Structure 1
Amino acid sequence: MFNILIVEDEIKITQVIKAYLDKEGYHCIVANNGEQALEFFLKNSIDLIILDRMLPDISGEEICEKVRKISKVHIIMLTAKTEDSDKIDGFNIGCDDYVCKPFNVKELVLRVKAVFRKMDVENKDLLKFSDELEIDMNSHEVKVRGKKVELTNTEYKILLLFAKNQNKVFTREQLLELTIEEHYEKIDRVIDAHVKNLRQKIELDTKKATIIKTVYGVGYKFGL
């Protein structure tokens, strides 16, 4: 279930938006001012923010800028300002979409659905395990605890194999066949060397590995 933060000080508009999104099966959290919005954002896992530009305490622009410093969450901004320059300003500060008031709530719902369809496509190519490990299968980029790490092609193959098979224990022979292409390297201790190098790049403590664990007498398994 996707979590949506609705930030709008006009209660009736908030109620209508929430009712339509609730009907679509989304979980909505409502904030009626900027301070509350930032508090709720920090305390919850939010997938999308519907953000009114004109709020009584903190402007939508300021909220957008604060959120953008820490998150790439999708932001749809609601505004009564319809000039092109206003829209450009909104995009420049980090909003992803713009809906001008008055608006058709059904159109807003369609825009929300489009955001989550895009996220579903993107997430199919992204393996993420909490904040510990993230593997982008399109770019082959690997992040460990939020920091990018550089892996060799073989190290990447080994890590990806484990991440895709979280409950499987692999023997050294299986890892050789599935990740090593060079025929002259087909000796099982080669895998130990690759795993050792990989652990040095991704583990906090290589002696107490938590991402790639040793299964004594058998081989290795994924630990997350």
Structure 2
Amino acid sequence: MSLTNAHPAEIWLVDDEPEIRSILRDYLVHAGYICREFEHGEAMLAALAEGGQAAEPALILLDIMMPGMDGLEVCRTLRERSKVPVLFLTARHDEFDRILGLKLGADDYLVKPISPREVVARVEAMLRRIQWQGKKQEKVSSPLQLDHNALEVRIDGVLLTLTVVEFRLLATLNEKPGRVFKRNELINAAYDDHRIVSDRTVDSHIKNLRAKMAEAAPKRELIQSVYGMGYKLVPSS
């Protein structure tokens, strides 16, 4: 997928060889990306400085062997102001150069001659990894930590003593924070034996769950009721 946050990802190509830029641009555009080309690293760094963080691309394809500032120096300078992912394109087979590039802040590299299809595949893999890491960090930053194997819940590191039903209710709400779950959805999630349970029973469990969470984290109100609908989890509150 070339989409990040529902918009086509922008890739910057930095290479002094027009033919290579043209081929890679065609393949990346065909794959759904937006591409911007630079003949040398100084021009790319100037564009980055002029546009600021808002103008940063999703990823930079950076050649190492270029006149003026080589790719290693460009990457070193880039890392002083940006964390944008960098994929090196290098004609060097020397292991020292590749390790040095990674130490300077590059995220990956490809050795020339390169396959345009492999470049596209590597770009897609890097962007997927970045998106996954972002989602993982969002989960880690949540005040709730659920252990489904031990049926344990911590809020801001404080262990809650919950019943199985309360754990299932909270786990269901936590699956999609911000979404309103109807009472019948919560009933089906909390009871796996298809017993008949009234809305008042669910309300009672939610009330007890809220009380336990409020005792552990008095300043947070994570479970909110939506009148006439049900309940939702707001972990950022």
Pairwise TM-score range, normalised by the shorter structure: 0.5 to 0.7
Q: Which residue of 2 aligns with 1:52?
A: 63
User: How many angstroms apart in 2 are the aligned matches of 1:16 and 1:34?
Assistant: 23
Equivalent position SS for 2:224: strand
Which protein is bigger by CA-based radius of gyration? 2
| 1:193 partnered with 2:211 | yes
Q: In the superposition, relative to structure 1, how do residues 178 and 95 fare at CA in structure 2: closer, same or farther (>3 Å)?
A: farther
Give the one of 170, 176, 182 matched to 1:164.
176
Q: Which residue of 1 aligns with 2:198?
A: none
Superposition deviation, residue 106 in structure 1: 3.4
Q: Which residue of 2 aligns with 1:99?
A: 110
Provide the alpha-carbon RMSD of the alignment: 4.3
Superposition deviation, residue 84 in structure 1: 1.2
Q: Which residue of 1 aligns with 2:76?
A: 62
Contact 1:155 1:195 in 2 (8 A): no
User: How many angstroms apart in 1 are the aligned matches of 2:179 and 2:144?
Assistant: 25
Superposition deviation, residue 222 in structure 1: 3.6
| 1:8 partnered with 2:11 | no
Q: Which residue of 2 aligns with 1:178?
A: 190
User: How many angstroms apart in 1 are the aligned matches of 2:46 and 2:92?
Assistant: 22
Q: In the superposition, relative to structure 1, how do residues 150 and 79 fare at CA in structure 2: closer, same or farther (>3 Å)?
A: same
User: How many angstroms apart in 2 are the aligned matches of 1:159 and 1:15?
Assistant: 50
CA deviation profile, 1:136-180 (whole Å, cap 9, x unmatched): xxxxxx215xxxx57463357637624426432455x948x739x
Superposition deviation, residue 15 in structure 1: 3.0
User: How many angstroms apart in 1 are the aligned matches of 2:63 and 2:51?
Assistant: 15
| 1:17 partnered with 2:24 | yes
Give the one of 137, 141, 144 matched to 1:143.
141
Q: In the superposition, relative to structure 1, how do residues 167 and 102 fare at CA in structure 2: closer, same or farther (>3 Å)?
A: same
Q: In the superposition, relative to structure 1, how do residues 89 and 101 fare at CA in structure 2: closer, same or farther (>3 Å)?
A: same
Superposition deviation, residue 217 in structure 1: 7.4
Equivalent position SS for 1:5: strand
CA deviation profile, 1:72-105 (whole Å, cap 9, x unmatched): x542112344321100101222322212345343
Q: Could you state the TM-score of these two structures normalised by the residue count of structure 1?
A: 0.60
